[in-house]
Amino acid sequence: MTDASAYLTYDGPIATLTLNRPESFNAVGAEAAATLAGLARELDTRADLRVVVIRGAGPAFCAGGDINVFAAHLDDPGPMVRGILDSHHDFLQRLQALPAIVVTSVHGAAAGAGLSLAFMGDLCIAADTARFTPAYARLGVSPDGGGTVGLVRAVGARRALQIYLMEDGFDASQAEAWGLVNKVVPADMLEAATKALAERLAGFNPAAVAATKRLVHASAGRPMAEQLEAEMTELIGCMKTAPFRDAVHRFIAKSRAAKPGASA
């Protein structure tokens, strides 16, 4: 569809962001990271957006950083790393700030920063043939790309250290058992299952979804009293929306219809 290193397509309130460097297994370099940041800025402008799906073109989800780029900057890696990650961090932070739910749809390899990206979404669905490879310790580096954010939130510090320092790799079923992947499906059903999940999420009250996302992501850093107050505030806000009022009316009507002796 395009020569860009990543691109967006839309299906109503559902956006799909495709990593599009299949010849390099969607490895992320400076140009790709800048493109991703630009696409995230575009998503910011879509008031109708409810779901963002992130997927990879070709045989893999994302192989992480571009090793060829690393090799060309071994004497002074700092400027190169900052040139990539400043844009990539902008991309990741904008994704988390979106009111829309972000779903990563993973097939093939998710390695290094690709593994990090897979678990930086709000939800993750994976093909049963997906393979997750931390890669960092074997390369002699520490995690990047949000790897110590999304993964640690999902599994905790001890399991995260196991994954980064004790595991050479793991499959989708193990990722599901650890709580990193929400659903595993046969590889030939990944596209359809991702579409079905996105449509389900898009059908919910967007105010409720956005509030739920805000509350969940903020909970770890808040005292309990503040979190409870935030829950109450978000709940009241959701109750003021038309989808909530419509749902209440439907529930009452259904309850009345189900009572013995109710007229058709």
Q: Taking residues 30-44, what's their average pLDDT?
A: 97
Residue 18: predicted pLDDT: 98
Q: Is the pLDDT of residue 2 over 80?
A: no
Q: Write out pLDDT tens, residues 40-53.
A: 999 999 999 999 99
Mean pLDDT of 75-82: 96
Q: What is the pLDDT of residues 219-241, one digit of tens each?
A: 988 999 999 999 999 999 999 99
pLDDT tens digits, 159-201: 999 999 999 999 999 999 999 999 999 999 999 999 999 999 9
pTM exceeds 0.75, yes or no: yes
Residue 259: which residues within 8 A CB-CB, separation 6 or more?
none
Residue 191 makes CB contacts below 8 A (sequence gap 6+) with 105
| pLDDT for residue 262 | 60
Contact 194, 53 (CB under 8 A): yes
pLDDT digits (tens, 9 = 90+) for 93-116: 999 999 999 999 999 999 999 999
Measured distance CA(84)–CA(90) in Å, rounded: 10
